[in-house]
Chains A and B, each alone.
Chain A
Amino acid sequence: VELPPELRAKLPRRDPEALARFYEIYFDRVYGYLRRMLGEDQLAEDVTQDVFMHIQRAIHTYDPARAPGPWVFTIAANKLRDHWRSRRHMDALLDATIDGEGRRVEPQAKDRGPLPALEEAELSRELSRAIGTLSPPMREALVLRYFEGLSFEEIGERIGRNEAAVRKRYSRALADLRVALERYVLEGKGARR
C-alpha cells in the first residue's frame, strides 16, 4: 500500500490528514524492518522514533512526484547505520563476543533437510529468531526483499551495491537461515524443551 498521489502532494505542506495517513501506512513497515534488523523491541522503538522525528523535520524536502517508500526506507537505513556505528551498539557487540555468541555452526551433511519436522508456527518462530542471527548486510537484503517486497535492484540502490552483490547476499542469507534451522532441529530443539 502506498500513499495516494493527492495526499503525497500535501505532505511537504505538513497537511494533518496526509501526515496521519502517511503514519498509518509506514509506521508498521518501518518498525517491522527495524525490529527485524535490530532484534530487540526497545532498540527498534528508539530507532523508529528517530526515523519519524527525522521525517517530521525533513518532510518539506520530500518530492511528491515519487512514492514515499524509498525515501522513508533510505532514512530508516541511515538511522540504522547510525545506530550500528554508535557506542551503544559497539558495547553490545563487545559483550556478545565476550559471552561467546556469534559462533558459526557448520551445517550437517545429509540428503534432505529437517524442516518438514517443524510445525508451521514453530518454524515461523524459529525463523524469526534465526533472522536475528544473520549478519547485518545479509539481514538487510533478506528483510527488504521479503518483508518490504523490494526488488534486488531497488535494494541495491538503497544500500549502494549492485544487483549481483545483493543477490549474493540474499543467497547467503538463505543458506545461513537453512543452517540455523538445521541446527535447531538437530541440536537445539531437545535442549530448549
Chain B
Amino acid sequence: LSADRRTSGDADLDVEVEAALRNCDRPAARAEFCDELRRRFLDAAGAQSSSRRRVGSRTVWLLAAVVILAAGYFLLRPSTPEWRVLEVAPGSVVQADGVSVPVEDRMALARALQNAHAIFVESGDVIVRAGDLSLFDIGAGTHVEFAGFHPDERPGPLLVRASSGRLRARTGPGFPGRMMEVLAGSMEVAVTGTAFAVDYEEAGTCVCCLHGTVEVKSQAVGAEAMAVQPGKMCLVFRDDRAPLWGDSPEAHAQPLGRLEARAREIWP
C-alpha cells in the first residue's frame, strides 16, 4: 500500500488506526527503575551543588588570581585565531597557500590555516574548529579552500571548495541561520546544519550524510537538487554512469561518526 494511493476503504482504516493510537497507553517503566534513577538523578545534582557551596570562599580568591593572570595574558597575547587546531595526526604535513606550516605549534598552525586561501594536507590528518560554526576533518591528499569563515569577512554563505582527498564536516551551534555550500568537483553540496563527508574516490566523488540536511546538485544528478538522507550516500561517477545512491560505506561513515563524537564533547 502506498500512502499516496489510498482507496476510500484505506482512508476509513486510517481513522481507525489513528483512533486506536490515541487510546494506546504509554509504556510504563518498572517502579524500581524509576525510583533508582530518581535517586541517582537527584543525588548527583545535590552532590554537585553542595561541592560548589563548599569551595565558595576559596573560589573567590582563586578567581581573583585567575582574573589577574588572564588580564596579563590578554595584554601580552598574540592575536588569538578564531580557528583552533584540535588534532594533528603524527607525521602530518600541511601547506597553507603553498607554504609548509610547522604542525607542532598549533596556535601558529591555526593562524596560518585561518588566513590561508588554500590549504593542502599532504599527509596525515588535521581536525580544525572554525569558531562555533563547524568542525572540519581534513584528510591526507586534500586540497581545500574556505571562504566566509574569517570573523573579518562579511557575513554571508560559507563556501568550501574541496578539490581532492576527503573532507568531513560537522556544523556547530553558531551555524543555524547560515548556509554552507561545498563545491566538490562537478557537485555543489548545500548544507543546512549537519554532519557530512565528501570523499574523492577513484570512481568519482562521494557525499555522505550522517544527519541533518544535505542536498546535492550536479548535472549527473539532474536539474533539481537531490537530498542525501541520513546514513546514505550519493556517488557521482567521473564517467557518464548514473549516480549511485545507497547506504554510506563504513569507511566513510566511521570517521564521520568519530567527528560527530568529538563535536558532542565540545558542544554537548
Contacts and interface: CB of A to CB of B under 8 A. Distances in A.
Contacts of B2: 175
A107 B194 contact: no
Interface string B15-43: 01110111111111110011001101110
Interface in B49-64: 49
Contact of B3 (A23, A113, A161, A168): A168
B20 A124 contact: yes
A107 B1 contact: yes
A55 B194 CA distance: 22
Contacts of B264: 78
A44 B23 contact: no
Determine the main DSSP class of A at the interface with B: helix
A123 B3 contact: no
Given A44-B29, A45-B33, A110-B9, A178 B1 contact: yes
A23 B237 CA distance: 52
Contact of B9 (A16, A113, A147): A113
Contact of A32 (B10, B21, B26, B30): B26
B195 to A, nearest CB: 10
Interface residues of B, number: 45
Contacts of B27: 31-32, 35-36, 44, 128
Nearest to A165: B227
A161 B38 CA distance: 33
A81 interface: yes
Interface in A122-174: 123-124, 127-128, 142, 146-147, 160-162, 168, 171-172, 174
Nearest to A11: B45
B27 to A, nearest CB: 4
Which of B13, B23, B30, B257 has the largest count of A CB atoms less than 10 A from its CB? B13
B39 to A, nearest CB: 10
Given A14-B45, A178-B10, A113 B28 contact: no
B40 A28 contact: no
A28 B26 contact: yes
Interface residues of A, number: 57
A138 to B, nearest CB: 10
Interface string B224-268: 000000100000000000000000000000000100000010001
Contacts of B3: 168, 171-172, 174-175
Interface string A44-82: 110011001111111101000000000000000010010
B104 interface: no
B46 to A, nearest CB: 6
B76 interface: no
A48 B29 contact: yes
Contacts of A48: 29, 33, 37
Interface in A3-39: 13-14, 16, 19-20, 23, 27-29, 31-32, 35-36
B23 A174 contact: no
B9 A28 contact: no
Contacts of B30: 41, 45
A32 B18 CA distance: 18
B268 A178 contact: no
Contacts of A193: none
B175 to A, nearest CB: 12
B49 A14 contact: yes
Contacts of A128: 24, 27
A23 B38 contact: yes
A115 B13 contact: yes
Given A14-B46, A31-B29, 15 more contacts: A19-B41, A23-B41, A27-B37, A31-B28, A31-B34, A48-B37, A52-B41, A59-B45, A111-B9, A113-B13, A115-B20, A123-B20, A124-B23, A171-B3, A178-B1
Give me the 9 closest cross-chain CB pairs, A-B, nearest first.
Answer: A113-B13, A32-B26, A171-B3, A35-B27, A31-B29, A160-B212, A14-B45, A14-B49, A175-B3
Interface of B: 1-3, 6-7, 9-10, 12-14, 16-18, 20-30, 33-34, 37-38, 40-42, 44-46, 48-49, 193-194, 211-213, 230, 257, 264, 268
